[in-house]
C-alpha cells in the first residue's frame, strides 16, 4: 500500500484506494536551487569585503543571505507540497505555487473527457518528464499535471483507470456506453434546463427543426 504524507492524506475519502503518488521531477527546480546556493556562497565569500565598506556592505550582505535562504526555502516547499494523488475514483492535483500560495484541483474519472500527453524540448524527452493534460466535462479549464516523471507510463495508467471506471459504472447502472458518456450527460442537462426555461413543447419543436435541417443537408451532400 502506498503511504502518503499527512498533508495529502487529509484530502482522501475513506472508501478511496490510492493507486499512485507522483511528485514533480526534481531537476526542473535545479536552477532555482542553484540560484539560492550562489547567493549564499557570494555572501560568505565576500563577507569581509562587505564588512569593511560599512553599513552599505552590511545591508548588501544581509540582503544576499535573506534572499538566498528565501529562494532555497521556497524551492524546497514548492517541491515538497506539489504532487499528484491518483485514486480509483479521481485525480487530485496539489500545486504549491509559492510559500503562501497553493491550489488544489481534482478531476473525478466520471467527468474526464480527454487525457493527453505533452513533452516540449530536448531535455523533456531525454530526461523523460512532461505534462499530462486532463479535460473534464462541463468545464473549459484543463487540469495540468506538470513536470511528472515518465509521463507516458502515467498517461497509460490514467487512460486504463478511466476506462475501468466507465466499465464499472455501466455494469452498476446498466447504462449503454453512449448514455454514460459525460458529454451526453451534459447535453441531457442542457435539454432539461431548456425545458424549464422555455417549456417542453418549444424544445421539441427546436429539436425537430434541427433534425429536419440536418436531414436535408445530408441529402444535398
Domain count, the chain: 3
Q: Give the rounded distance of the alpha carbon of 34 from its chain centre.
A: 26
Decide if 123 is inside a domain.
yes
3-class DSSP state of 121: coil
Q: Where are the beta strands (DSSP E) in the chain?
A: 18-22, 83-87, 90-96, 102-108, 112-118, 129-136, 142-149
44, 15: one domain: no
In a domain, 1, yes or no: no
**Could you tell me how far CA 91 lies from the centroid of its own chain?**
8
Coil vs helix vs strand at 3: coil
Note if the pTM is more than 0.95: no
Mean pLDDT within 199-212: 74
CA–CA distance, 182 with 137 (Å, rounded to integer): 6
Q: Is the pLDDT score of 182 beyond 80?
A: no
Residues 65 and 175: their CA atoms lie apart, in Å, by 63
Comparing 38-42, 67-71, 192-196, 203-207, the range with the smallest average pLDDT is: 192-196
The percentage of the chain sitting over the pLDDT mark of 90, rounded to a whole number, equals: 39
Q: Which of 182, 135, 123, 132 is nearest to 157 (CA)?
A: 132
Quote the CA–CA distance of 161 and 147 in Å, as a whole number: 21
Q: Which domain holds residue 73?
A: 29-79
Residues 41 and 73 both lie in one domain: yes
130 and 101 in a single domain? The answer is: yes
Amino acid at each position: 500500500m502506498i503511504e502518503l504524507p499527512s498533508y495529502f492524506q487529509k484530502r482522501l475519502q475513506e472508501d478511496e484506494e490510492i493507486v499512485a503518488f507522483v511528485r514533480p521531477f526534481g531537476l526542473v527546480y535545479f536552477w532555482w536551487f542553484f540560484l539560492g546556493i550562489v547567493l549564499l556562497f557570494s555572501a560568505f565569500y565576500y563577507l569581509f569585503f562587505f564588512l569593511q565598506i560599512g553599513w552599505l556592505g552590511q545591508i548588501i550582505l544581509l540582503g544576499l543571505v535573506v534572499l538566498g535562504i528565501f529562494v532555497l526555502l521556497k524551492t524546497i516547499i514548492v517541491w515538497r507540497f506539489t504532487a499528484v494523488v491518483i485514486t480509483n475514483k479521481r485525480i487530485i492535483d496539489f500545486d504549491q505555487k509559492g510559500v503562501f500560495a497553493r491550489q488544489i484541483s481534482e478531476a473525478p474519472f466520471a467527468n474526464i473527457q480527454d487525457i493527453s500527453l505533452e513533452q516540449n524540448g530536448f531535455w523533456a524527452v531525454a530526461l523523460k518528464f512532461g505534462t499530462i493534460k486532463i479535460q473534464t466535462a462541463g468545464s473549459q479549464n484543463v487540469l495540468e499535471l506538470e513536470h511528472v516523471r515518465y509521463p507516458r507510463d502515467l498517461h497509460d495508467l490514467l487512460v486504463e483507470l478511466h476506462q475501468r471506471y466507465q466499465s464499472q459504472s455501466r455494469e452498476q447502472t446498466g447504462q449503454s456506453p453512449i448514455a454514460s458518456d459525460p458529454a451526453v450527460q451534459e447535453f441531457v442537462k442542457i435539454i432539461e434546463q431548456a425545458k424549464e426555461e422555455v417549456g417542453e413543447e418549444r424544445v421539441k419543436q427546436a429539436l425537430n427543426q434541427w433534425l429536419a435541417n440536418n436531414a436535408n443537408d445530408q441529402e444535398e451532400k
